[in-house]
Amino acid sequence: MRFSKPAWVTHQDTPDQKRVTLYSCHVHPDGSRLATGGLDAKIRIWSTLPILNDAAEKADVPKKLCTLSMHSGPVLCVRWSSSGKWLASGSDDAIVMIWDLDPAGAGRVWGSDDANVEGWKALKRLPGHDSDVTDLAWSPKDRFLASVGLDNKVIIWCGYTLEPLRKLDLHQGFVKGVCWDPVGEFLATQSDDKSVKVWRTTDWGLEATITKPFEDSPGSTFFRRLSWSPDGAHITASNAMNNNGYVFVAAVIARNEWTSDICLVGHENTVEVASYNPHIFLRDPKGDVQSANICSVVALGADDLSVSIWQTKSPRPLIVARDCFESQIFDLSWSKDGLTLYGCSADGSLGVFDFDPAELDGIVSLEEKELYLKRFGFQPPPDPFAMGVQRPQASYQQPGNPYAGQGHPPTPPSAAAQAAAAAAMDPGPAFDKKGRKRIRPVFVGALNSAPGAFPTSSAPAPFGGAAPPAPGAPQPVPPHSQPQAPPPTTQQAYPAYGQQAPAVGFGSRPPPADPRFSHPSNEFDRHPSSSYPPTSQQPPYGGYGEHHYDVDGDRMMGGYTNGMAPPKRKLSEMEDDSSALNGGFRAPKARTLGGDRPRDPIGPVRELRPAMQGFGYPPPSMKIKLDVPPLLSYLSVKSEEREGDVFEAKNPEPSQDPSKRSEPFEVALLRNKETVFLDYPSAPVLSLAVTSAFCAAGLEGGSLNVYSPNGRRLLPTIALDSSCTFLAGSKNSLMAITASGKLHVWNVKTQKASFAPVSLDTLITPNATITSAVVRPNGCPIITLSSGIVYSYDIDLACFTKLSEARWAQGSDVWEGRQRERATKAPISRGPVATMECELPGEMQDSASPTPYWRAAFTLGHLEAKLHAAEVLDSPQEYKTALLAYARRLADEGYRAKAEELIKELFGPLYWKPGKEETWCPTVLGMQKRDLLRDVLPTFAKSKTLAKLGQDWQDTLRRALSE
């Protein structure tokens, strides 16, 4: 085995920059490309030839093939499809992107000196998650794509149309790992709710929930990436614990029983990722491929900076590579030949473990593996998407483009297909309800429904090798030293548009030739991109089942007529549109206030009155501290909690003719451009707020109307002392700041004020004005001033407190605003504390510190402020993250007194029992303080200065929890 770390595989734009964290890596099925995703919000694709071959690395061989930069946040996961045609990426921006190869897309990277050797372009953008996308997985044959994220959701996408099929939302914590059963029967996910859930792919129901090995697992890991063994018998899950949380293990979960009686023990810190070798191995290489004679190879990456590789026939690992990275390992990926393991780390480096075939003895070919998996007897349902649904294509793949001929040429339509097209053009007479003839419109797209009307593009050729020849073209004669896979036949190719799909059984697509049995003819052929046989020309299958399913789980119509797919409709809409049984009359449709009114187009927005300063409502005798917003002819606000909801207001211009009545003021809620309700307030509308629970309109003069999402008035009209300058809402909380400088917060659900109105006199000065004001779901206001300070009102302290300030940027090493690119993101995409800091104007100060203790004091003070802010803003995950960072800083600096004080605060009274001691609260933000202490103590135990302190308190905590 040879271990290497190519220094040039990095996400640094310039050599003098600090290495950027690599969150994910994945090798292409043909072994010629490697994709990495990092903190810099970019994806980079590398050639593996110079990585695996020293001579190629020194030669003039392209190393970096492409740089992709359409994500607006760190890229947390990259995954190639099984066919190698597409690359999927998930990011901190809550978006899944699908990338496809553009044969003419190579060229210089915009805004950089880099040049792309290959032109990978964004094929489709898949929105659906409400927070970071942490992991992705393609199902066998690429029928589905699964994505998981920090919104606690699992979304299943059709692998053919890339449309959302199902949203699984039974997890109660961040979902950080996903993997597919190689048989195709199950899907497994792992979450911070300390469970692994197994889902059936036939109906997407929950098969099992496994919690036993994970009750004591820490929540501090960035990922919980799990993997399914290639023989389908086991799942190896990361971040498991034994002995009440003091032994770090990886749990091996048995299929069907869904229990974990076996654990992989040896790592000294939490396991982040597990990755199985794609091949089955024989215990006895001379024996047959039988259940009793097979085993698997799995690699584990952990926070103890080590990688271990296990073979399931042995109780001890094959290899333990310690200190191969300088920080925790985030992702592992095996090559398809099973001889190379890639790993990436938070230190920004890539590690490569390259094995000789003799070191992994008993490897089974992929053909034999497919035959073995057939023994499970699982047959997926027929694929409805093969019957007339076109795979998404980028503009460079559309018919007529000279570069679109990467796949098979279209098949000429058969006589039966031509007859079907002619029948589609002449569907026969049609009659209405009264028996009269009517003309039936014909969709001209049916003319193109003949088979082969749309070409399909194939997987990209291995980098450095020739593209696969088209069917019917003369086949090149392979060298004797390089056995090639047989050319694809018409039965292996994916059916053309409108043709019958082949049987969807396992083994229907021949796997590529096994490169282990090739005999290299030169030094570049050990892992050359050109020596790998081309990937199969058969693109992945789509999703299955008889109906479409949208993200919310509503059933959609799935039938097709003349090769055309009708628009998606929910089942409720189909029922509303059905006819009554007696006489065929339609049932009356429910109405909404204003729903049947034609909506007038929105003209140009005019300013009817500019913003007022120093006077307004009430009379000028009262001191007005804040500007009254301008009066506009039209204003609207989109809901961040319910997609498609827009709350709008119209203020008509006053009539110049006294004899004519002026048009009324109007507010309306639109859902997907349809009116849900409307109302006519008594005064012009100055400000709006909308959430999933209510809509609010601030009127000129100080009145405030609050409506339900269906238009009911949830509260009586509120009369404030002046007009609203700021109006904001979140969940059930509504906040208003009036022009007189009064802060109000209400809970609309309970119809009560969160606290008495508070004056902002202590905050507002001539040099400090309010730049933004929002409210958290718990009713906590967040007020940002132009001076770079963020305030909130603490009900318990009955005063304003500083949540953050820009001055921390002058010396803090954990200032959030300088660790990531500033990107426009909704607060839900990241925590409220991080969002708050990114909006502050503070910038990093790289100048020398005024005193030796400047940076330490600023960093510790900043972390303590973040802890208080996370508690006030009700953000448990950020609280835990800041607490662990705070503990690491104390350990690095060796501040024993501070560390011991923190330990005692989290531990509480030594002999505390529930209900015995009321002065100490055992929880913070719903988390047990002693559970947090269990995550903190290993940091102190590893410190040179605080090792004894951490170890002593670990023993104390262990005894306290066992009593």
Q: Which residues pair with 636 in a beta bridge?
A: 648
- pLDDT digit string (tens) for 615-654? 433 444 455 678 888 999 999 999 988 888 999 999 988 7
Q: Look at the block and give the residue holding tokens 């640094």.
A: 12
Q: Look at the block and give the residue holding tokens 């609309």.
A: 748
Q: Is the pLDDT confidence value at 929 over 80?
A: yes
Query: What are the residues whose beta carbons fall under 8 Å from the beta carbon of 838, sequence distance 6 or more?
Result: 816, 817, 820, 822, 825, 830
Q: Of 75, 43, 63, 70, which Cα lies nearest the Cα of 115?
A: 63
Q: How far is CA 661 from CA 211, 585, 934, in A?
A: 69, 42, 72
According to the model, what pLDDT value does residue 418 have?
44
Q: Is the pLDDT confidence value at 955 over 50?
A: yes
Q: Is the pLDDT confidence value at 555 over 90?
A: no
Query: What are the residues whose beta carbons fall under 8 Å from the beta carbon of 133, sequence distance 6 or more?
Result: 76, 77, 90, 91, 92, 94, 95, 96, 147, 148, 149
SS3 track for 224-255 = CECEECCCCCEEEEEEEEECCCCEEEEEEEEC
According to the model, what pLDDT value does residue 589 have?
61
According to the model, what pLDDT value does residue 382 have?
63
Q: Is the pLDDT confidence value at 577 over 70?
A: no
Conformational region of residue 889, where left means phi above 0, alpha means psi within -120 to 50, and beta covers everything else: alpha
Q: Please state, in angstroms and rounded to a whole number, the distance separating the CA atoms of residues 643 and 654.
A: 34
Which of the two residues, 151 and 561, has the higher pLDDT score? Answer: 151
Check if the beta carbon of residue 298 is closer than 8 Å to that of residue 229: yes
Share of the chain above pLDDT 90, in %: 44
Q: Is the pLDDT confidence value at 412 over 60?
A: no
Q: Look at the block and give the residue holding tokens 């659900």.
A: 749
Q: Of 889, 879, 869, which Cα lies nearest the Cα of 804?
A: 869
Which of the two residues, 684 and 467, has the higher pLDDT score? Answer: 684
Q: Please state, in angstroms and rounded to a whole number, the distance separating the CA atoms of residues 946 and 258.
A: 41
Q: Please state, in angstroms and rounded to a whole number, the distance separating the CA atoms of residues 23 and 11.
A: 11
Which of the two residues, 394 and 476, has the higher pLDDT score? Answer: 394
Q: Please state, in angstroms and rounded to a whole number, the distance separating the CA atoms of residues 521 and 518.
A: 9
At 842, the pLDDT band (50, 70, 90 cuts) reads low
Break the chain down into helix, strand, coil percent, rounded to 5: 15, 30, 55
Q: Is the pLDDT confidence value at 496 over 50?
A: no
Q: Which of 59-63, 218-222, 352-356, 537-541 has the lowest mean pLDDT?
A: 537-541
Q: Please state, in angstroms and rounded to a whole number, the distance separating the CA atoms of residues 489 and 498.
A: 19
Helix and strand numbers (H, E) in the chain are 11, 57
- Which tokens sit at 854? 């400047």
Residues of 477-491 as b/e, b for ≥16 C-beta within 10 angstroms? eeeeebebbeebeee
According to the model, what pLDDT value does residue 450 have?
36
Burial (Cβ within 10 Å: 0-12, 13-18, ≥19) of residue 660: exposed
Q: Please state, in angstroms and rounded to a whole number, the distance separating the CA atoms of residues 212 and 195.
A: 8
Count CB-CB contacts under 10 A for residue 894: 12
What does the pLDDT average to over 552-580?
40
Q: Which of 333-342, 454-463, 620-629, 748-757 has the lowest mean pLDDT?
A: 454-463
Q: Please state, in angstroms and rounded to a whole number, the distance separating the CA atoms of residues 400 and 537.
A: 21
Q: How far is CA 456 from CA 28, 399, 453, 467, 473, in A?
A: 20, 10, 10, 15, 17
According to the model, what pLDDT value does residue 598 have?
67
At 827, the pLDDT band (50, 70, 90 cuts) reads very low
Query: How many residues does the structure list for the chain?
Result: 963
Q: Please state, in angstroms and rounded to a whole number, the distance separating the CA atoms of residues 393 and 147.
A: 21
According to the model, what pLDDT value does residue 157 have?
95
